[in-house]
Amino acid sequence: MTHIYNFSAGPAVLPKEVLEQAAAEMLDWHGSGMSVMEMSHRGPEFISIYQAAVRDLRALLSIPANYQVLFLQGGGLGENAIVPMNLVARMAQPATIDFVHTGSWSGKSIKEAQRYADVNVAATSEPGHFTSVPPQEYWKLTRDAAYVHICTNETIDGVEYNFVPTIQGDTPLVADMSSHILSREIDVTKYGVIFAGAQKNIGPAGLTLVIVREDLLGHALPICPSAFDWKIVADHDSMYNTPPTYGIYIAGLVFAHLLRQGGVAAMEKRNIAKAALLYAAIDVDDFYENRVAKDCRSRMNVPFFLRDETRNEQFLAGAKARGLLQLKGHKSVGGMRASIYNAMPIEGVQALVDYLNEFAGR
């Protein structure tokens, strides 16, 4: 059988070793006689799974003790409402939220936040069709904003931050890291809140990770559902209501796997090499094109276009025949997109590069 490489933007490829372990443990987890899916979230078996997952994630990202790790539901888009409901009451009223608009996902966050507070778009790369991150010197931030929201990797546009903004005063920085968390080293202390849907670098869809500084807890609006009030969730170790238990289990397997691979620093090294290999094959001549400014190109999501777009279907069919799956670009931008998350081995990127060269007649 042809080796399959899955370039989906998410839900996305997971480490083979993790899937094999999950398969082996599917019917009987560690002699418990139960599948993890069948366990009470309050029983000792699941509590041990949960604790190991939190411990390993803390180790992977060096999460300081004054930050809480929360497992929620609702996905990245859910957080677009949950974040303002938890933070807008904390600072000067009427509250303003500052956003930096760098693509589709920060755009969706802006729309949702407008239901809860005034929104100031401090900077936007829309005039350049979302092909860069506006440098911080051009941002027009609000004094005492409730928070500053950025999307540090725009999954659709393929744009990634190469700097961490500095925010003055008591205003926290909130980052949607859904599509690049655990792919590069980060300094958690620079952020008030980090959130991520799991379905790219963490595990299955249905689990949302929130890392929040403790002093930001306890400010939820009265309209905030209790199950999404970070303080309540934190006080109950993410078990105020039934958490997505199987998702937490798979995430825990992924975290342990990453630690065995050398952690986030080792992932970052591999991801730099993978991205360099792929962008080089796109840039070598004008058969393909990536429109993102070189210093803002995502290491995780690589959109590209054929100069002759009439050949798109032929390209995708040939890719599929070679086991290179889910390369079609997002419907809002067209073209192609290769997502090369942590679990994509360099052999998969090399197979794609070989095909790019072959299709271009190089």
Which residues are annotated as catalytic? 105, 176, 200
Piece in contact with ligand PMP (CB under 6 A), picked from 51-59, 172-180, 290-298, 308-316:
172-180
**Is the Cβ–Cβ distance between 343 and 267 less than 8 Å?**
no
Residue of 29, 105, 161, 304 that binds ligand PMP (CB under 6 A): 105
Give 10 or 192: the residue with its C-beta nearer to ligand PMP.
Answer: 10
Contacts of 38 (CB under 8 A, 6+ apart): none
Percentage helix, strand, coil for the chain under 3-state DSSP, each rounded to 5: 40, 15, 45
Dig out the tokens for 305 from the structure.
């276009």
Q: Is residue 77 a contact residue for ligand PMP (CB under 6 A)?
A: yes
With binding defined as CB under 6 A, does residue 112 bind ligand PMP?
no
Q: Is the Cβ of residue 68 or residue 109 nearer to ligand PMP in the bound state?
A: 109
By CB under 6 A, name the one of 160, 176, 229, 268 that touches ligand PMP.
Answer: 176
Examine residue 151 and tell whether it contacts ligand PMP (CB under 6 A): yes
Which one among 155, 201, 298, 339 touches ligand PMP, defined by CB under 6 A?
155
Q: Can you tell me whether residue 120 is helix, strand or coil?
A: strand
* DSSP-derived 3-state class of residue 352: helix
From 46-54, 159-167, 173-181, 347-355, span contacting ligand PMP (CB under 6 A): 173-181
DSSP structural state of residue 200? T
CB of 158 to ligand PMP, least distance (A): 11
Closer residue to ligand PMP, CB minimum distance, 204 or 263: 204
Q: Which of 178, 183, 238, 271 is close enough to bind ligand PMP by CB under 6 A?
A: 178
Tell me how far, at minimum, the Cβ of 159 lies from ligand PMP, in Å: 11
Kindly indicate which of the ranges 89-97, 162-170, 176-184, 222-230 contains the residues binding ligand PMP, using the contact rule CB under 6 A: 176-184
Please give the residues from 186 up to 225 whose contact with ligand PMP meets the rule CB under 6 A: 197
d(CA 255, CA 53): 7
C-alpha to C-alpha distance for 135 and 123, rounded to whole angstroms: 9
Residue burial 235-259, b: 16+ Cβ < 10 Å; e: rest: eebbebeebbbbbbbbbbbbbbbbe
Minimum distance of ligand PMP from residue 11's CB (angstroms): 9
Instruction: Based on the shown chain and the rule CB under 6 A, indicate whether residue 75 belongs to the binding site for ligand PMP.
Output: yes
What is the residue-wise DSSP string for 289-332?
A: E--S-GGGB-SSEEEEEESSGGGHHHHHHHHHHTTEE--BPPTT
Residue 19: its H or E element: helix 16-24
**Among candidates 351, 347, 287, 344, which has minimal Cα distance to 319?**
351
Min. distance of Cβ 301 from ligand PMP in angstroms?
8
100 contributes a contact to ligand PMP by CB under 6 A: no
What does the binding site for ligand PMP look like in residue numbers (CB under 6 A)?
10, 75-77, 105, 151, 155, 176, 178-179, 197
